[in-house]
Structure 1
């Protein structure tokens, strides 16, 4: 018996929303769970690095799962910088484990955002943006999508979720998309893990990484676009 392809396509979104509904139900029927969530929310929304670190440490290995879930839910609840859980992971679990946690979290969050974007479809997207804007996005994704995703991932100051949604909506090849995501997020995760103990050095390091990446990308786009235009 074959499974309808439509249901396969929507399966990640369905399971995600079912999971969210279950969390909400548990939140309202279990006082202990509710208190833990409220405490976690207050700690993270405070932005206090030391307080957040100590709180995550108290969960032991479960803290890693909490950080991964926060990276995923950050797609829906933008209340703190996307790189904050990556810093906390480095401070709590060390260099290598934090890089792995960051990669898993970004992989899952990016996949979910891509699938959500993919369900939007091109026809729906055309209803909200002009044909000219759509054609530009379509051209960009088809010709520079791979490198665009890398740059958006390597820079913590650009919209990671936005590029994932657009890549899905314009049906960019998923394997190409997720490979670009991993390539882009790896140096960022490594830099965050390396400089996490010094927030000033971290900000400076991230700025350099973002600046160099965008510069190289701009030069590449300029010469490639010029070549295409001449042809």
Structure 2
């Protein structure tokens, strides 16, 4: 429990320090402030090349900006979750972008999980229908680890609502974050390797995600049948 609390507070503190550092730079440096305002407008355009050029203008702070975007995306959902990863790859290259993207997802997922863990099951059921809640509870209890892996590795499924739900249903944090990283590292790697060819990247990611979901669906179907048969 102490180790879990240490990670919990570390993730909050680290994110807080990044935000505070960013805020200080924003109010201290007029140039930085103007760049941030321009960048926000560019982000809304959705133009990957323009966004990449703008992040590059931040220099070393660009990595911090991308991590913040990944964390903020969990709460704001104003752009696709994989967009900051593509920008990281275009600006920083393969290895650094994998580390930056993984760090951002680690922080965002941990924060989402710990926010969920503070919500009681009774409170969670106020926002989720009982039937849906029971189904989610069943899937998290029996297939939580690999479900989260699939959610992370599939760009059209990846979203941090699963972090809050996993925390709310009291999934073990270390299993949760292990599954998150197992799923997100291959996704971040694929994005880093093919970011320069967006069409190929998108096609590859959807094939990867689709194949993963299909294989996982077959596994779940067979396992569910076995469980049902054993109960009978």
Cα displacement (A) at 1:78? 1.4
Cα displacement (A) at 1:21? 8.5
2:182 is the counterpart of 1:172:
no
Cα displacement (A) at 1:99? 0.9
Q: Distance in 1 between the 2:171 and 2:55 partners?
A: 36
Q: Distance in 2 between the 1:228 and 1:22 partners?
A: 52
Q: Say if 1:12 and 1:115, in contact at 8 Å, map to a contact too.
A: no
2:109 is the counterpart of 1:110:
yes
Cα displacement (A) at 1:129? 2.6
TM-score by length of 2: 0.87
Give the secondary structure class of the aligned counterpart of 2:191: helix
Give the secondary structure class of the aligned counterpart of 1:74: helix
Counterpart of 1:208 in structure 2 is 207
Cα displacement (A) at 1:190? 1.0
Q: For residues 78 and 23 of structure 1, do their structure 2 counterparts lie closer, same or farther at Cα, with a shift above 3 Å needed?
A: same
Q: Say if 1:107 and 1:182, in contact at 8 Å, map to a contact too.
A: yes
TM-score by length of 1: 0.87
**Could you give the per-residue CA deviations for residues 122-178 of structure 1, whole angstroms, max 9, x where no partner exists?**
110122333322221111100010011000000111142111111011010000000
Counterpart of 2:34 in structure 1 is 35
Counterpart of 1:100 in structure 2 is 99
Counterpart of 1:63 in structure 2 is 62
Aligned pair count reads 228
Q: Distance in 1 between the 2:122 and 2:29 partners?
A: 43
Q: For residues 202 and 12 of structure 1, do their structure 2 counterparts lie closer, same or farther at Cα, with a shift above 3 Å needed?
A: closer
Q: For residues 215 and 68 of structure 1, do their structure 2 counterparts lie closer, same or farther at Cα, with a shift above 3 Å needed?
A: same
Unaligned runs of 5+ in 1: none
CA RMSD of aligned residues (A): 2.7
Q: Distance in 2 between the 1:26 and 1:124 partners?
A: 39
Cα displacement (A) at 1:228? 0.6
Q: Distance in 1 between the 2:130 and 2:167 partners?
A: 18
Counterpart of 1:72 in structure 2 is 71
Cα displacement (A) at 1:31? 5.3
Q: Distance in 2 between the 1:53 and 1:217 partners?
A: 35
